[in-house]
Structure 1
């Protein structure tokens, strides 16, 4: 069994005599206790996804969830007559979550034992423990970011997006245009900082340096007039992607120093990294300064290396680097770009702050 202190990412519910009181196919009428309704809403507000693994008639059970007003809270429900371990496994796989981040609650000991036998990493709870669930450490994230509070909404939009892409006939650029992508690049606010810190900590494939900036570090940079702490957000016709990028920029008279660029792996296929670099290049060109970017090559961030090279960054020396502080780590080297005006990609609309001036 996984460590009990690691955070649960998804709670999978049984229905009969667990989520609701009564057995739907026998009683015909079931009730949803107020404390259970409150628990569902509370876990959702903490960014913990919720699903269903129930042995029931699918249409009748889902209609009941809709009538009770809680259907919207559940993603990827599995309602049928197969083993519940198969349902839990399928939910975890489609979410791309490790089994150790999944929890399962059921009133029947045999059902919990079946899941535990086949999926020993999954944490199983008796229905009797539901009143204490919200207070357990594994259901209590240390911080709840802006994006965490709407995580379910973002996943549900992602499922719709994926289905639309599977049905789309035509070139990939035409599909991207059909998404009506809107990128916003803004100065980070205090409300954004937890998500910004999370990006520096959790993003590895699209992270230029891997350097972690704590909340204290980020607040210090926000207060420093030479620094820009920028957050990139993305939306499309299906809904929000949330905060998907972070740019830490230090302004010098001859060069802008890009200390960190990190973007979510979820938006690589939308060209988000290239769009951000293109915008930075255009802003630097308008300000008449060069761009210098810190980069540390790792086994996982090859895509970020390609994005920098594709944007025109090279290893060429330049006097503009004079006066820049030494890299924070010895294995970080600096790339250089003499910028030229750049237009946003035709597949998305871009709304961004102006960075001109020191």
Structure 2
């Protein structure tokens, strides 16, 4: 059986006679073919990032990309006179992508050979193959989530956020306030389900049980009035963080069972997990019910254990657990909490659905 190549996460473009037709420094005027413009937009919509490695005058080339209306599609461009292998390596390192997930396209065989020699994991394509690129399996993710479609905007916002943090000189809490963080917690929509499934698969450090829920499982839970499938979305003044949290809650008359809490590691430093837990505790307090949280210890989720304990969950016995369905796995613990209200987060504005009634 032929093994399918890993999906490309970032395509790095040469410019002259590859992305555009003509040589900028010689011709002064270049053109962007319609099919290339369409390919750029299509790859972007699939969540594939794009960058540039070109031997050109930086300002002139970047101004040309802006004039052609495509500059916004490219992250971390490397335009200068050094080896293209160095440029590709730097792009991969800053994105924190493995070299095997990087692709490079160039019209010059010598440039492709130079990249291939120094970075053999990088997949190289001649410019004449551009018309068929979108049909290749490595450029065709099996699922394109809501967040994948805006991956570029999320990365661009992340670069701006990181630069602002490096320049900031005050306390970390003041920097968090300056971000103007807004957290939205709402019931999952059909459009979000593929991202919800991804969160159950890909989060590990901040995943309370490590249990995977398939799309079919999630649709079943959505249709069950006892269950809440909740998605947390985070934004700030720089742009979206995307869907960063998932909460699966089963509601009973005396107790709510938090069957899964998973949050992206990207937002741990913003205190997202604490805000989500405190909100759930407050909702349970208003409903007059106890909270029981499922937790299964893994090699990587000690941080989640700490988060639960810090929120007040304990191993104490309580008859509120009576009648709860058995956990999904026999090694899942059930931690208990009698809810008490919390003060609002000083750094995060919270917009959340009410869980009262139903």
Give the TM-score band, short-chain normalised: over 0.9
CA–CA distance in 1 between the matches of 2:120 and 2:260? Answer: 39
Secondary structure of 2:128's counterpart equals helix
1:261-280 deviation per Cα after TM superposition (whole angstroms, max 9, x unaligned)? 01111111000000000000
CA–CA distance in 2 between the matches of 1:197 and 1:4? Answer: 22
Secondary structure of 2:117's counterpart equals helix
1:61-93 deviation per Cα after TM superposition (whole angstroms, max 9, x unaligned)? 101101111000000000011111111111111
- Alignment match, 1:37: 37
Unaligned segments of structure 2, at least 5 residues: none
CA–CA distance in 2 between the matches of 1:98 and 1:216? Answer: 31
CA–CA distance in 1 between the matches of 2:205 and 2:90? Answer: 26
1:150-189 deviation per Cα after TM superposition (whole angstroms, max 9, x unaligned)? 1111111111110000011110000000000010100011
Pairs within 5 Å for 1:165-244: 165-244=165-244
- Alignment match, 2:135: 135
Secondary structure of 2:182's counterpart equals strand
CA–CA distance in 2 between the matches of 1:319 and 1:357? Answer: 23
The count of corresponding residues between Structure 1 and Structure 2 is 356
**Post-superposition offset of 1:254:** 1.3
CA contact (8 A) 1:279 1:343 kept: no
**Post-superposition offset of 1:4:** 4.9
TM-score by length of 1: 0.98
- Alignment match, 1:329: 329
RMSD: 1.0
1:35-84 deviation per Cα after TM superposition (whole angstroms, max 9, x unaligned)? 00000000001111000011111011101101111000000000011111
CA–CA distance in 1 between the matches of 2:86 and 2:317? Answer: 57
CA–CA distance in 2 between the matches of 1:176 and 1:161? Answer: 11
CA–CA distance in 2 between the matches of 1:119 and 1:6? Answer: 16
**Post-superposition offset of 1:191:** 0.9
- Alignment match, 1:287: 287
Secondary structure of 1:185's counterpart equals strand
CA–CA distance in 1 between the matches of 2:233 and 2:206? Answer: 15
- Alignment match, 2:152: 152
Pairs within 5 Å for 1:1-358: 4-358=4-358
Unaligned segments of structure 1, at least 5 residues: none
Secondary structure of 1:6's counterpart equals coil
User: Once superposed, which parts of structure 1, at least 4 consecutive aligned residues long, lie more than 2 Å away?
Assistant: none
Q: Is the deviation greater in 276-285 or in 327-336?
A: 327-336
**Post-superposition offset of 1:5:** 2.7
Secondary structure of 1:72's counterpart equals helix
CA–CA distance in 2 between the matches of 1:330 and 1:112? Answer: 53
CA–CA distance in 2 between the matches of 1:245 and 1:59? Answer: 40
CA–CA distance in 2 between the matches of 1:74 and 1:322? Answer: 56
Secondary structure of 1:259's counterpart equals strand
CA–CA distance in 2 between the matches of 1:166 and 1:278? Answer: 29
**Post-superposition offset of 1:295:** 0.8
CA–CA distance in 1 between the matches of 2:202 and 2:193? Answer: 14
